[in-house]
Amino acid sequence: MTPDAAAWDALRLSLWVAFWATLLAIPLAVWVAWLLARKDFWGKAVLNAAVHLPLVLPPVVTGYLLLLAFGRTAPLGQALNALGIQLAFHWTGAVLAAMIMGFPLMVRAMRLAIEAVDPKLEDTAATLGAPRGMVFFRVTLPLILPGVLAGTVMGFAKAMGEFGATITFVANIPGKTQTLPSAIWAALQIPGGERQAVMMVLMASTVAIAAVLLAELLARRVAARIAGA
């Protein structure tokens, strides 16, 4: 038995969604992680809690909240719609849902990496004349690369696997918003659909494992360069 066209569609969409979700989340996650790791500011606790919230809430709830915020009838959704941006019931919404669900994982990994950077190295870069932004891009960022990679792969895996929030926010329209997890879920709704589901589970796993191993490889390279091997 081979995966049917719908399964391939779902895989394609999932990859697309996960790709964009991860890509868009990286800079934001790095920034939030940096804020949480290095800055003290009013509302830091709130930000920290907010970042973790998608972990705690049942994904359906997150999906509903998204629907409430960005639905076609919601003011925010209407405003965005006026700008030509449609989120609810659209693959872009799946991207948003995947971003939000993966965000805590990305931020945490990057934050840990940032906390491990010796601020003395950043200070040293400053004494050599590098302004703040340059210090970040030439010292901090390269040093946290393994953490960024770790966060990215976690975010990507989560984006590939996200189901509850996605199906609630963008529904499960084959070829349009049906991601692999939604398709798997749908397959499980008919007796005998397990084989189709197993097929798709294997597809999802393969992609995710490939991503994990690729990230691992890259991280090893970075580490090897630092170790001088």
Partner 1 sequence: PVTVFAAASLRGALDAVAEDFGADVSISYGGSGTMARQIDAGAPADIVILAAPVWMDWLQERGILGDAPRTYLLGNRLVLVAPADSTIAPDPGNLAASLGDMRLVIGQRDAVPAGIYSREWLQATKQWEALQNMLAETDNVRTALALVARAEMPLGVVYRTDAMAEPKVRVVYTVPDDQHSPIVYPAAALTDAGKVFLKFLQTDESMDIFAAHGFAPVKP
Partner 2 sequence: MSLSLTLSHRFADFALDITLEAGPGITALFGRSGAGKSTIINAVGGLLHPNSGRIAVDGDVLLDTDLGIFVPPHKRRLGTVFQDARLFPHLSVSQNLMFGARYAPRGSSGPALKDVVALLGLQDLLDRAPATLSGGQKQRVALGRALLSHPRMLLMDEPLASLDGPRKQEILPFLERLRDGPLGLPILYVSHAVDEIARLADTLVLIQSGRVQAQGPLFDVMADPAAVPLLGVREAGAVIEADVLAHGTDGISTLRISAGTLELPGVHAETGARVRLRVLAQDVILSLTRPEGLSSVNVLPVEVEAIHPGDGPGAAIALRANQDRLLSRVTARAVTELGLRPGLKCYAILKATTVAPGSIGR
Q: In whole angstroms, what separates CA 162 from the centre of its chain?
A: 10
Shortest spacing between CB 212 and a second copy, in angstroms: 5
Alpha carbon 29 to chain centroid, angstroms? 9
* Nearest distance from C-beta of residue 57 to partner 1, angstroms: 15
Q: Which of 186, 200, 203, 204 binds partner 1 (CB under 8 A)?
A: 186
Residue type at position 79: A
Q: What is the spatial distance between Cα 86 and Cα 82, in angstroms, rounded to a whole number?
A: 9
Cβ closest to partner 1, residue 17 vs residue 167: 167
Instruction: Tell me which amino acid residue 130 is.
Output: A
Q: Rounded to the nearest whole angstrom, what is the least distance from the CB of residue 131 to partner 2 in the complex?
A: 5
Nearest to 212 by CA among 62, 104, 109, 113: 109
Cβ neighbors of 200 (< 8 A, separation 6 or more) are: 3, 7, 10, 11, 180, 183, 184, 187
Q: Is 10 in the site for partner 1 (CB under 8 A)?
A: no
Binding stretches for a second copy (CB under 8 A): 45, 48-49, 52-53, 55-61, 64, 104-105, 108-109, 111-113, 115-116, 146-147, 150, 153-154, 157-158, 160-161, 163-164, 181-182, 184-185, 188, 197, 201, 204-205, 207-209, 212-213, 216, 223
Binding stretches for partner 1 (CB under 8 A): 60, 64, 67-68, 71-74, 77, 88-89, 167-168, 171-178, 182, 185-193
